[in-house]
Structure 1
Amino acid sequence: MTTTTPHTPPPAADIQDVCPATLVTIPSGGTAYLVSRHNEALQVLSDPLFSRQEVFRTQGTNYTGPGASSTGDMLLDMDPPQHSRIRGLVAKAFSRRRVEAMRPGVQQILDGLLTDLAAQGPPADLVEKLCLPLPITVVCQLLGVSYDDREWFQERSYILASTVDTPETKLRAVNELRAYLTEIIAEKRRSPKDDLISELVSARAEERLSEEELINLSVLLLPAGYETTANQITKSLFALLEVPDEYAALCANPAGVPAASEELMRLHPSVLTPGFRVATKDVAVGEVTIPAGSLVIVSDALANRDPEIFECPQDMDLRRRENPHLAFGHGLHFCLGAALARVELEVVMTGLVTRFPGLRFAVEPDTIRWHTQRRFRGPSELPVTW
């Protein structure tokens, strides 16, 4: 059974039929090549001739997205070999095997949140009671950051993901986060714990990364470790609750949650900031030659609706078997936390359909407020009852 919801975007085929790389005008007045097909997106995101570092150097922080620095020295702005070296220091912490070992702990956190939710009774805002607390708790435990500081660092993280705050405000927020994490790093040096920042401090002691790289990586991992996941959980639950029959079907068969969660991520990815690259040489993408120095924009959201890859791409098919979506990107900058985000979304959805079979919106869906001034588009609240 497939379902099309009122919030389904218009067909992507209109632009995909034009060209594999379409020259478009961007808000700054310049031009860029928009890549909207799946196979061509894979090419651009994996080919080293398309540089992320050159985007920062030639276009600035307006194009680099969340986690960008004023000097281009964040992991998201790097190319190999620097990118490979630094990413390698944290990749093991987010490996599928290590993340699976974290699943019981994630489940324990969820069980506590759902017990509190049931004790409170309806109605409730799932963003406040579940979608935010779970990934924040997980990332605090992973990094070794105090959960009691969450409101403070959430405020700064919120500013960094804003599309309206001034560069000065963002710089102040990132500097405050740097100072905060510098103190935590100093504490880990004095008293190492079993957490990721302690591991990175050890790598620093072995001169596998510089002090600046250590601080920048910590600044990136804290907001990135919960912001996108919280938004993905919220967007997925919103889309699922819009179709009560589908929610009921998962209640009857919780084993269907993994496939359902992948489909919800395909249709409603957390991050809609497209992938920017700069061609360092003339490169052929399909039948189009992109000149050296050109800005290239990869739309993961459009690629996720490519009819050449996905049957009935506009339909929500929660039992879709083949689902090579690009919600986590692809290639060198494939999302580090993809495996952990998948576990968190699966655990949340399974817990809800198991313990709250009567879950439904407490208000009309079209009255729910959404973020409109952030790089992460999604509901800012999720009022439900049961």
Structure 2
Amino acid sequence: MTDPTHDPRFLRDPYPAYAALRATCPVLAVPAGSGGRTNYVVTGYEEAREALHDARLSKDTATFFAGRESSRRLHPAVAHTMLASDPPRHTRLRRLVTKAFTTGAVARLRPFIARVTDELLDSWHIGVPFDFMAGVAVPLPVVVICELLGVPPADRPDVQRWSADLFAAGEPDVIDAASHALAAYMTDLIAAKRLDAGSSLLDRLIAARDGEDRLSEHELVSLAVLLLVAGHETTTNALGNAVLALLKHPAQLHRLRRNPDEIPGALDELLRLDSAVSTSTFRFTTEAVTLGGTDIPAGAPVSVALGAANRDPARFPEPDALHLDRDAAAHLAFGHGIHRCVGAPLAKAELEIALRAVLAHAPGLHLAVPAEELVWRRTRLVRGLSSLPLVASEATEIPLVRSRPTQ
């Protein structure tokens, strides 16, 4: 199988290819590279859910790659994050960060999210093309997660650029350099916060390290990098994908514009339709496993195609259509099991607030370029647009007013 990130058609719409793979077999053995290794790709919903939950599929990359020669120089703080670990280490680390993303904690952030969204939309004027990705979808989650972690405003453009570089498929040198830049930055930020403590999540993690629950320096830097990157990448892509999906389904867009209180209930279906995370992070079998009728030997890499699973017609009838009344709460866009995205409540709050604000700010909304000219990011893990040029126009049926979500 050739690298799909080299095919613009796949980047634009991977779902026909996913459907073809799933029709062949929901768990397919695929040759990976020239080393003779076989990767197992999961495209069926039930099989994906089972794989994400099965403890025999390890995420301990340090164990898998131990002793293997590699030309890569990915920083250990990026290569061996909480995502790349199993219990009990994973359980301990996740417990430390979960409190930051509780319903109450996210509710306290909502006024800040709404204020930042309004400030970003102030530069968007009726009749003038506006890149939604550069203007809203990228900066909003970056500002929010940086605020949560205590990253100074002057440093945020750099950390956003390094984070984006981590997903540069086909450019290992760029990825490796970005991993070192992020790790070095977080090491310096942690040192600065030790001298002048604040109340950010990063400050609380530092206190945990120095207290009873003692984190190692590597764990502290690694958690900081992971929270920074994962805290905005998913939301950025989900925002762009959701707006584009609504533009492609104008009746649904019109419905939400007239009834914005339906937006929270629509989020799961929007996330299901075009998952911001296309493929889950690395897993491998610790023993022989049979999944979806396919025998997978021990030590084999397994890729769970979340985007494919979310469009499995056996679980979601008419999967390529956007049905806002569908019960899509069981989608896998945030993963499943013990590794389900810890920041999902924050991501959904940002999505809701941003969509409310955009639909209120732009009564009439359409693409500034033909849909086939949109450029998608060339990356295997995530699915998102490089840019989304939009034009807002006047609309008589809905007044042009700013509408903040209920606090």
AA in 2 matched with 1:179: A
Contact persistence 1:95–1:339 (CA under 8 A): yes
Render the CA deviation track for 1:258-293: whole Å, top value 9, x for unaligned. Answer: 233222211211122344321112223244443222
> What residue number does 1:190 align with?
195
Q: Does the CA contact (< 8 Å) of 1:262 and 1:323 recur in 2?
A: yes
Pair 1:159-2:165 in alignment: yes
Q: Is the CA contact 1:56–1:72 (under 8 Å) kept in the aligned structure 2? A: no
Change (3 A) 1:177 1:15: closer
Structure 2 CA distance, aligned partners of 1:14 and 1:173?
A: 35
Contact 2:246 2:252 in 1 (8 A): yes
CA shift in 2, pair 1:193/1:298, >3 Å: same
Question: Shift of the alpha carbon at 1:68?
Answer: 7.5
The residue that corresponds to 2:95 in the other structure is: 88
Determine the structure 2 residue equivalent to 1:302: 308
Is 1:290 equivalent to 2:296 in the alignment? yes
- The answer to whether the 8 Å contact 2:242/2:270 transfers is yes
* Residue identity matched to 1:209: L
1:113/1:129 contact within 8 Å kept: yes
Aligned residue identity for 2:53 = S
8 Å CA contact 1:248, 1:357 repeated in 2: no
Residue identity opposite 2:117 in structure 1? L
Which amino acid in structure 2 is aligned with residue 47 of structure 1? Answer: D
Tell me the secondary structure at the aligned position of residue 366 of structure 1.
Answer: helix
User: In the TM superposition, what whole-angstrom CA distance separates every residue of 1:152-211 from its partner, at most 9, and x where no partner exists?
Assistant: 2222222211113234x4333222222221221122212221211000110110152101
Q: Which of 50, 57, 78 is the aligned partner of 1:50?
A: 57
TM-score (norm 2): 0.84
Q: CA deviation at 1:8?
A: 7.7
Indicate the RMSD between aligned Cα atoms, in angstroms: 2.7
Distance in 2, Cα, partners of 1:7 & 1:36: 15
> Please, which runs of 5 or more residues in structure 1 have no aligned partner?
1-5
* Count of aligned pairs: 376
> Which residue in the other structure is 1:3 paired with?
none
Question: More displaced, 197-206 or 93-102?
Answer: 93-102
Amino acid at match of 1:35: V
Distance (Å, rounded) in 2 between the aligned partners of 1:56 and 1:378: 31
Q: Which runs of 5+ in 2 are unaligned?
A: 1-11, 393-407
Show the counterpart of 1:376: 382
Alignment TM-score, normalising by the size of structure 1: 0.88
Call closer, same or farther: CA 1:209–1:257 in 2, change over 3 Å.
Answer: same
Residues 249, 322 of structure 2: 8 Å contact kept: no
Amino acid in the other structure paired with 2:299: G
Establish whether residue 341 from structure 1 lines up as the match of residue 347 from structure 2: yes
Structure 2 match to 1:279 = 285
Q: Secondary structure at the match of 1:220?
A: helix
Structure 1 counterpart of 2:175, one-letter code: K
* SS of equivalent to 1:31: strand
Specify whether residues 363 and 16 from structure 1 end up closer, same or farther in structure 2 by C-alpha distance, changes over 3 A only.
closer
Match of 2:3 in 1: none
TM-superposed deviation, 1:327:
0.6
Distance change in 2, residues 1:324/1:361 (3 Å): same
| 1:139 aligns to 2:145 (yes or no) | yes
Q: Which amino acid aligns with 2:233?
A: E
Alignment partner of 1:261 out of 261, 264, 267 = 267
What CA distance in whole angstroms lies between the structure 1 residues aligned with 2:198 and 2:204?
A: 8
In structure 2, distance between residues paired with 1:176 and 1:24: 34
Q: Quote how far apart the aligned CAs of 1:55 are.
A: 7.7
The answer (yes or no) to whether the contact 1:72–1:78 under 8 Å persists in 2 is no
Q: 2:251 matched to which residue of 1?
A: 245
Quote the offset at 1:356 in angstroms: 1.5
* Partners of 2:14 and 2:298 in 1: CA distance: 36
- For 2:322, the equivalent position in structure 1 comes to 316
Structure 1 residues 58-77: aligned runs within 5 Å: 58=65, 69=76, 72-77=79-84
